[in-house]
Amino acid sequence: MATSLAEQPVLKMSAPDLRSDLDLSIEETMRLLRLAIDMKRDPAHYATALQGRSLSLLFEKPSLRTRLTFELAIQQLGGYAVTSIGMIGDREPLKDVARNLDRWTQGIVARVFAQATIEGLAEWSRVPVINALSDMFHPCQALADVQTVLERFGRFDGLKLAYIGDGNNMAHSLLLTAGRLGMQVAVAAPEGYQPDAGVLAMAREAGVQFTITADPAEAAEGAHAVYTDVWASMGQEAEAEERKRIFAPYQVNDALMARAAGDSIFLHCLPAKRGQEVTDSVMESAQSAIFDQAENRLHAQKALLLMLLK
Ligand code: CP
Ligand code: NVA
C-alpha cells in the first residue's frame, strides 16, 4: 500500500546550503514543493520534525515576510530562532562570525547586500546557510512563487511567466527556478537594467527558455503569470527618483494585464510601491495572488528547513 508523503522519510538536499537557486536540482525543487503542499495541508504532522533545533537569522537589510516566516517556520517544526540585525562582518571577519554561529545553532539564514557574504558564510560554517536575499538572488521567494503557480495551474510545462521591470535579484531567481521547472520566462526591462549577463548564461546553460526585451507588452502577451517587483531595491534608495522616470512605461496596470492569458495571475514578492511598478487596481484584482505567495513563504521554507537540517 502506498504510504502518504508525511510517512515517507524526508530526503536531504544534495547541496549543503541554499546559496542560490542552483543549489536545488529540478528534482529536489519538485520534491520540496510537494513537501510544502503537504505541510500546508497537514501542519500538525510536522510539528516536532525539527524538535529543539535552532536557527540564526541575520539581517543586513529590513524584512517583514522573510523574518517572520522563518521564525514561524522553525517554531512550527519544533525549533526556535535567534535574530541579529546589522552588517555582517563589520565588527570581525566573516569567517569568525560563521564559526561562532555554527557552535550555537544548526542553521544560518542571512539577508545580505553582497552574494559574497553568503558564499563566505557557507564556506566557513559547518551548518547549512540559506540565502534570504542578496543583491543577486532571492531563492526562498522564488520557491514560494512556484508553489503558488503549481497550486493554481497544476503544472509548469506550457506556462509563460512575464517578469516586467528591473532585472534584479527577483528576476534572476525566477529565471533560474521557474525557468528550470519548465516555465517559459519573458523579461521586459529597460536597456541598462536587464538581468545580469552571468545569470543569463547560467539560465542558458540550464536549458531555460527565456526572452529578454525592452517591450512590456511583448513580454506580457499570453502570459499565465505576470510578475513585477520594486523599481528601486533595498540599497538603491538614492536612485529611486531617476528609476521612477526610467521605469514609468513598465508599470503593470489593467491594460498590460489585458494582454495576458484569460486565466492569468498577477504576482509580486512584496513590499510593493502601489502606483509605481503596479497599480492599486491590479494589486486588488481577482487575478492577484500576492497573499498566496506571501503565505507560501512559510510552507516552502518549512520544507526547505526540513530538507536541509533534518
Ligand atoms: N518578499 C520579501 O522578501 O519580503 P520582506 O522583504 O518583507 O522579507
Ligand atoms: N528586489 C527587492 C526584493 C524585496 C523582497 C529588493 O531587493 O529590495
C-alpha 69/C-alpha 224 separation (Å) is 27
259 and 169 housed in the same domain: yes
For the chain, percent of residues with pLDDT exceeding 90: 95
pLDDT digit string (tens) for 35-71?
A: 999 999 999 999 999 999 999 999 999 999 999 999 9
C-alpha 276/C-alpha 213 separation (Å) is 20
C-alpha 64/C-alpha 77 separation (Å) is 20
> What secondary structure letter does DSSP report for 183?
-
106 and 229 housed in the same domain: no
Within 16-138, residue ranges assigned H as helices are 26-41, 65-76, 94-104, 115-124
171 and 54 housed in the same domain: no
Q: pLDDT at position 9, please?
A: 79
pTM strictly above 0.95:
yes
Q: For 248-269, what is the mean pLDDT?
A: 98
- Cell of residue 31, nine digits: 520534491
93 and 15 housed in the same domain: yes
Q: Is 236 a catalytic residue?
A: no
218 and 126 housed in the same domain: no
SS3 content of the chain, % helix, strand, coil (to 5): 45, 15, 40
pLDDT digit string (tens) for 94-135?
A: 999 999 999 999 999 999 999 999 999 999 999 999 999 999
- Mutation test of ligand 2: which of 63, 67, 133, 293 has the most ligand atoms closer than 8 Å to its C-beta? 133
CATH number of domain containing 179: 3.40.50.1370
Tell the residue number behind the cell numbers 529578454, with chain if given. Answer: 212
29 and 132 housed in the same domain: yes
β-sheet with 54-59: strand ranges across: 80-85, 54-59, 108-111, 129-131
State which residues form the domain around 192: 139-293
Total number of domains in the chain: 2
- CB contact set of 121 (below 8 Å; sequence gap of 6+): 88, 94, 97, 98, 101, 108, 110, 129
**Mean confidence (pLDDT) of the chain:** 97
pLDDT at 292 over 90: yes
pLDDT at 5 over 90: no
Residue whose CA is closest, atom 1 of ligand 2?
Answer: 233
Q: pLDDT at position 3, please?
A: 60
Confidence label for 13 from pLDDT (cuts 50, 70 and 90): very high
23 and 124 housed in the same domain: yes
86 and 159 housed in the same domain: no
